[in-house]
């Protein structure tokens, strides 16, 4: 009897069409790697139609990081160069490589002639110098070092060109519609451009990485080249000293880009991102960014509206079920960015049927709750059944067979 069962099992397995055909290569890809940080999409429209300030620069955008809600903007979709703010994407790819385990902060990188020969901002790496990834990341974030950026690009992808390909693919995946990279540093290059909106999108993704703040909050540090030379890094983001709560950002400046910054600050559990492009001076870009962030913190707050799993009062009637009704709950979290005081104008309106026909499955969507602020629709929260309710007159044995059909060995 046992031999017959084994023979039957082998025959079934051989008949399965999804098995690897003879000669096909085995898939040796790792079973799973950490996925990039998933964030809600950036809002299509700002809360304010016109900026409440009058910035003297080419473009600005102020965003709340968690929700992706834009508070105000000016020329958000005008393509332009942004100098070393380009490195936001280089840094993002580096941190994502570290998250996936493809790169470690302890890994050692040997500096190539290409990396050592980069102009502009540098940490003054020598050809053949060996530095760990942590030092190179720190040099790129704190000192905006072009040589460190290229050394990391080569370590991750084999060449800067291949890194740039990855940067453009990641930009496309993030929905950055008006961005094209030609290098990983932000040095002037024909065809390289982005927008205030796209800078905010990639900055938001970067600022979601906790590891980033290990480096971004360093104000000054010496880099030991191992041959007796020391290079002193000083953070290019002066808002660290000027603005309460500022803990990150990326600066950039060239003749064609003007003075740019993407800065972030956090107060009271709310993180804001201010993008300033094309200012006339370094002092001016920081002044504009500071004014933007101070405005955001002074006028807006995050308001928790709903928590997934919250029960809705009462039970929804079920027609023809083994139970007369079913409990309901919210199937989503919702935190809104509101103008301070608008909490009083917030309304939740259930949109539910009068009853449900049996059977009802646990988790089945049955309706929603509409969220409005001063009568303006802002969100909708799904409502689902908390438990299953079976239909009357169906035997448990038959229900079990139907749930498990087709039978599996």
Domain ranges across the chain: 59-299, 307-392
pLDDT at 10 over 60: no
pLDDT at 322 over 80: yes
Higher-pLDDT residue of 16 and 287 is: 287
Q: What is the 3-state secondary structure (H, E, C) of the chain?
A: CHHHHHHHHHHHHHHCCCCCCCCCCCCCCCCCCCCCCCCCCCCCCCCCCCCCCCCCCCEEEEEECCCCCEEEEECCCCCECCHHHHHHHHHHHHHHHHHHCCCCCCCEEECCHHHHCCCCCCCCCCCCCEEEHHHHHHHHHHHCCHHHHHHHHHHHHCCHHHHHHHHHHHHHHCCCCCCECCCCCCCCCCCCEECHHHHHHHHHHHHCCCCHHHHHCCCEEEEECCCCCEEEEECCCCHHHHCCCEEEEEEEEECCCEEEEEEEEEECCEEEEEEEEEECCHHHHHHHHHHHHHHHHHHEEEEEEECCCCEEEEEEEEECECCCEEEEEECCCEEEEEECCHHHHEEEEEECCCCEECCECCCCEEEEEEEEECCEEEEEEEEEECCCECECCCCHHHHHHHHHCCCCC
- The band of 296, judged by pLDDT with boundaries at 50, 70 and 90, is very high
Q: What integer is the mean pLDDT of 66-74?
A: 94
pLDDT at 264 over 90: yes
Q: What integer is the mean pLDDT of 58-79?
A: 96
Q: Give the pLDDT confidence score for residue 284 in this predicted structure.
A: 98
Options 67, 87, 138, 139, the catalytic residue: 87
pLDDT at 392 over 80: yes
Options 112, 121, 144, 216, the catalytic residue: 144
Residue 31 burial (C-beta neighbours within 10 Å; 0-12, 13-18, 19+):
exposed
pLDDT at 136 over 60: yes
Q: What is the CATH number of domain 307-392?
A: 2.60.410.10
pLDDT over 90, % of the chain: 78
Q: Give the pLDDT confidence score for residue 98 in this predicted structure.
A: 97
- The band of 9, judged by pLDDT with boundaries at 50, 70 and 90, is very low
pLDDT at 77 over 50: yes
Q: Give the pLDDT confidence score for residue 403 in this predicted structure.
A: 54
* Domain 59-299 indexed as CATH 3.40.710.10: yes
Catalytic: 144?
A: yes
pLDDT at 404 over 90: no
Q: What integer is the mean pLDDT of 344-356?
A: 92
pLDDT at 33 over 50: no
- The band of 25, judged by pLDDT with boundaries at 50, 70 and 90, is very low
Q: What integer is the mean pLDDT of 7-21?
A: 36
- The band of 40, judged by pLDDT with boundaries at 50, 70 and 90, is confident
- Spell 107-127 as b/e; 16+ CB within 10 A means b: eebebbeebbebebbbbbbee
Q: What is the mean pLDDT of the chain?
A: 89
Q: What integer is the mean pLDDT of 286-304?
A: 96
| Lowest mean pLDDT across 47-61, 109-123, 131-145, 342-356 | 342-356
Q: What integer is the mean pLDDT of 123-132?
A: 97
Q: Give the pLDDT confidence score for residue 100 in this predicted structure.
A: 95
pLDDT over 70, % of the chain: 87
Catalytic: 281?
A: no
Q: Give the pLDDT confidence score for residue 405 in this predicted structure.
A: 53
Closest CA to 43 of 267, 263, 204: 204
Nearest-angstrom CA–CA distance, 34 and 397: 41
């Amino acid at each position: 009897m046992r031999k017959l069962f084994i023979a039957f099992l082998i025959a079934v397995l051989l008949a399965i069409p999804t098995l690897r055909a003879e000669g096909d290569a085995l898939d040796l890809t790792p079973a799973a790697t950490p996925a990039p940080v998933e964030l809600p999409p950036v809002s299509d429209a700002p809360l304010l139609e016109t900026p409440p300030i009058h910035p003297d620069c080419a473009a600005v955008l102020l965003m709340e990081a968690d929700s992706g809600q834009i508070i105000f903007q000016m020329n958000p979709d005008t393509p332009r160069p942004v100098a070393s703010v380009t490195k936001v994407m280089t840094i993002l790819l580096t941190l994502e490589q570290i998250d996936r385990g493809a790169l470690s902060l302890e890994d050692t990188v040997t500096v190539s002639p290409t990396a050592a020969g980069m102009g502009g901002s540098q940490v003054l790496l020598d050809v053949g110098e060996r530095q760990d990834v942590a030092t190179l990341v720190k040099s790129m974030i704190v000192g905006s070092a072009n040589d460190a950026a290229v050394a990391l690009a080569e370590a991750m992808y084999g060449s800067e060109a291949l890194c740039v390909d990855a940067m453009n693919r990641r930009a496309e995946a993030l929905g950055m519609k008006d961005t094209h990279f030609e290098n990983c540093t932000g040095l002037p290059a024909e065809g390289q451009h982005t927008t205030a909106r796209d800078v905010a999108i990639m900055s938001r993704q970067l600022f979601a990485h906790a590891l980033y703040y290990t480096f971004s909050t360093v104000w000054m540090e010496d880099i030991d080249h191992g041959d007796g030379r020391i290079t002193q890094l000083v953070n290019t983001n002066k808002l660290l000293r000027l603005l309460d709560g500022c803990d990150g950002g990326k600066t950039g400046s060239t003749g064609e880009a003007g003075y740019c910054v993407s800065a972030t600050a956090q107060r009271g559990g709310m993180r804001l991102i201010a993008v300033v492009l094309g200012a006339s001076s370094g002092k001016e870009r920081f002044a504009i960014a500071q004014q933007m962030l101070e405005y955001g913190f002074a006028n807006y707050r995050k308001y928790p509206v709903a928590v997934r799993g919250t029960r809705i009062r009462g039970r929804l009637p079920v027609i023809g079920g083994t139970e007369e009704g079913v409990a309901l709950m919210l199937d989503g979290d919702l935190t809104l960015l509101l103008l301070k005081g608008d909490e009083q104008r917030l309304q939740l309106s259930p949109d539910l049927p009068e009853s449900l026909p049996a059977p009802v499955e646990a988790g089945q969507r049955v309706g929603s709750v509409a969220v409005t602020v001063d009568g303006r629709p802002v969100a909708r929260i799904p409502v689902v059944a908390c438990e299953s309710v079976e239909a009357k007159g169906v035997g448990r044995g038959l229900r079990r067979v139907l749930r498990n059909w087709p039978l599996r060995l």
